[in-house]
Amino acid sequence: MTSSDAREVKIRPATATDADAVWSILEPIVRAGETYALPRDLARADVLAWWHAPGTEVFVAEEGGAVLGTYFIRPNQLGPGSHVANCGYATAQASTGRGIARAMCAHSLEHGRGRGYRAMQFNFVISTNVPAVHLWTSMGFETLCRLPGAFQHPALGFVDALVMFRTLS
């Protein structure tokens, strides 16, 4: 994504009218079963309820009125752990490789700082999701640990999951 492309992408809070667009992005990701630890046959209502769980802020990235990606941000834990954010990101298949996920991550880091989060943690990054691991590393996240065989990939069998972390101060 060039800097001019970055200016064309608007990231805004999701509204109820975005449900179909958000589902159109999440459904192929959930059905593929390669990046989120969700049942591949999970119903639309259940996927959207998970994405919009209580205490979660959901955003969409759009260009020319078309939703190209979505992300959520929420406390990673309750109470004394609530100063650490957790996020999930999803990009429309037709928009991968255009910098949408990078723009959403940058937005989430800034938004998280503004919300008073002191750090951000990704609890379960699938090690075989090489583009995501590369992106999160380039955005300043460190891999704190590797969870051996923690994810059952539909094609590759048991693969590792990573816990990734970065401070926001």
pLDDT tens for each residue of 85-95: 999 999 999 99
What's the CA gap between 51 and 123, in Å, rounded?
A: 15
Contact 58, 52 (CB under 8 A): yes
- Count helices and strands (H / E) in the chain: 5, 7
What is the number of domains present in the chain? 1
Q: In this structure, is residue 140 part of a structural domain?
A: no
Rounded to 10 degrees, what is the CA torsion of 111, 115, 120, 123?
-100
In a domain, 99, yes or no: yes
Q: What CATH number has the domain bearing residue 116?
A: 3.40.630.30
The sign of the torsion formed by the CA atoms of 64, 65, 69, 75 equals: positive
Using only C-alpha atoms, the chain has a radius of gyration, in whole angstroms, of 15
- Enter the pTM of the model: 0.93
Q: Is residue 50 part of a domain?
A: yes
Domain contains 35: yes
Q: What is the pLDDT of residues 101-139, one digit of tens each?
A: 999 999 999 999 999 999 999 999 999 999 999 999 999
The answer, yes or no, to whether residue 169 has pLDDT greater than 90, is no
If you average pLDDT over residues 27-45, what whole number do you get? 97
Query: pLDDT tens digits, residue range 61-85?
Result: 999 999 999 999 999 999 999 999 9
Residue 161 lies in a domain: no
Q: Which residues of 88-99 are buried (b: 16+ CB within 10 A; e: fewer)?
A: bbbbbeebeebb
Q: Is residue 61 part of a domain?
A: yes
Look at residue 130 and tell me if it is in a domain: no
**144 located within any domain:** no
Domain region containing 24:
3-120
Closest CA to 89 of 65, 127, 122: 122
CA atoms within 13 A on the CB side of 39: 6
The Cα 150–Cα 160 span in angstroms is: 5
Q: Partners of 162 in the beta sheet?
A: 125, 146
Q: Are strands 84-91 and 66-75 parallel, antiparallel or unpaired?
A: antiparallel
